[in-house]
């Protein structure tokens, strides 16, 4: 695997340049290490999650881990900021924002809370997601994977983008966690086609997942054209096998053990750790070589390597159809977004 050095990405002195990040799902897995490294880079990190108790525990863990890592690096005279000069060694701040991506009203409340505390936003990371779970409708009458992985983040981004367009915000970025699993979409389908009556559910759950991830990458490309001053990127973190995303399969009766063994073997051969999975996000969030003119709307894979998504993602007519459907569905539920 290609090496990745987080110390080569820039850090910020929060007392000189206050940079704010909003990330969904930062209490575990990839999101945890994304939040940890941004905190160590001097960011004010707002972590949005459902459980206050779990999030408070995660924030304490992040603070302790950051101190442990700083002590380990104390023998070094400085940490490179990517330009060969000494960077700030100061930590940022960590804050909790309550949000439930399965409830569109909760997103509106979370945004209202965030705006009462901050008047600008530099980095927005759509990290939270679920994978290949059984068919289920949310309170908003949307398929659970489609809402969690895609539609809720569309609403969240729409409400927060105004804070990223302020003149005081330099180099704003939005990073969406996608997946190489978007290639599993078997045929070009509208977002309202959710395989609700097809069996086995175990198989078609993957197709629903691929559909949501395809729509997410399409959305970031549309967003990059709509807001050319915001760098909008989507990433595949790599095959991170030791994550809660696979808990549904490993808990299945009888065959759960089979899946667990398969995931362990696959992870041993092809997988990356949770922290390695965060590197593609961190590169897209921090790398000064990426810019709106050359890179907006691009898709990156493990360790931040630029890649080409599926033909369905690149189909502009199909992307526009999915976007129009999304706008209509949000409007029907009382959450209009800017077209």
Q: Which two tokens stand for residue 224?
A: 């990059």
Do residues 240 and 202 touch, judged by C-beta distance below 8 A?
A: no
Edge-to-edge order in the sheet of strand 20-24: 93-98, 44-49, 20-24, 123-126, 173-177, 231-235, 299-301, 305-307
Backbone angles phi, psi at 108, to 5 degrees: -60, -40
Which residue among the candidates 88, 152, 178, 280 is catalytic per the annotation?
178
Identified catalytic residue from 41, 213, 283, 298: 213
Who's near 316: CB < 8 A, 6+ residues apart? none
Catalytic residue among 33, 39, 209, 279: 209
209 catalytic residue (yes or no): yes
User: Is 278 annotated as catalytic?
Assistant: no
Residues carrying an active site annotation: 178, 209, 213
């Amino acid at each position: 695997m290609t090496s990745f050095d987080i110390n080569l990405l820039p850090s910020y002195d929060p007392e000189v340049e206050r940079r704010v990040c909003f990330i969904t799902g930062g209490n575990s897995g990839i999101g945890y290490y994304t939040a940890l490294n941004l905190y160590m880079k001097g960011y004010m990190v707002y972590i949005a999650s459902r459980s206050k108790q779990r999030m408070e525990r995660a924030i304490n863990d992040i603070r302790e881990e950051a101190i442990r890592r700083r002590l380990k690096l104390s023998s070094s005279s400085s940490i490179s900021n990517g330009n060969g000069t000494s960077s700030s060694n100061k930590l940022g701040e960590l804050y909790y924002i309550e949000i439930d991506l399965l409830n569109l009203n909760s997103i509106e409340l979370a945004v209202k809370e965030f705006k009462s505390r901050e008047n600008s936003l530099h980095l927005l990371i759509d990290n939270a997601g679920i994978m290949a779970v059984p068919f289920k409708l949310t309170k908003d009458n949307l398929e659970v994977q489609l809402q969690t992985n895609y539609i809720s983040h569309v609403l969240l981004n729409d409400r927060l983008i105004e804070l990223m367009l302020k003149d005081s915000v330099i180099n704003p970025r939005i990073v969406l966690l996608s997946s190489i699993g978007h290639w599993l979409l078997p045929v070009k389908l509208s977002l309202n086609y959710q395989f609700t009556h097809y069996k086995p559910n175990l198989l078609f759950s993957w197709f629903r997942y691929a559909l949501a991830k395809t729509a997410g990458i399409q959305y970031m490309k549309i967003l990059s054209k709509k807001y050319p001053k915001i760098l909008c990127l989507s990433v595949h973190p790599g095959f991170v096998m030791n994550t809660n995303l696979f808990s549904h399969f490993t808990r299945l009766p009888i065959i759960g053990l089979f899946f667990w063994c398969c995931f362990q073997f696959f992870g041993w051969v092809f997988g990356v750790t949770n922290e390695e999975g965060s590197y593609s996000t961190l590169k897209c969030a921090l790398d000064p070589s990426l810019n709106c003119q050359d890179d907006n709307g691009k898709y990156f894979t493990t360790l931040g390597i630029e890649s080409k998504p599926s033909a369905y993602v690149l189909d502009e007519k199909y992307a526009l159809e999915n976007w129009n459907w999304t706008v209509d569905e949000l409007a029907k539920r009382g959450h209009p977004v800017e077209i």
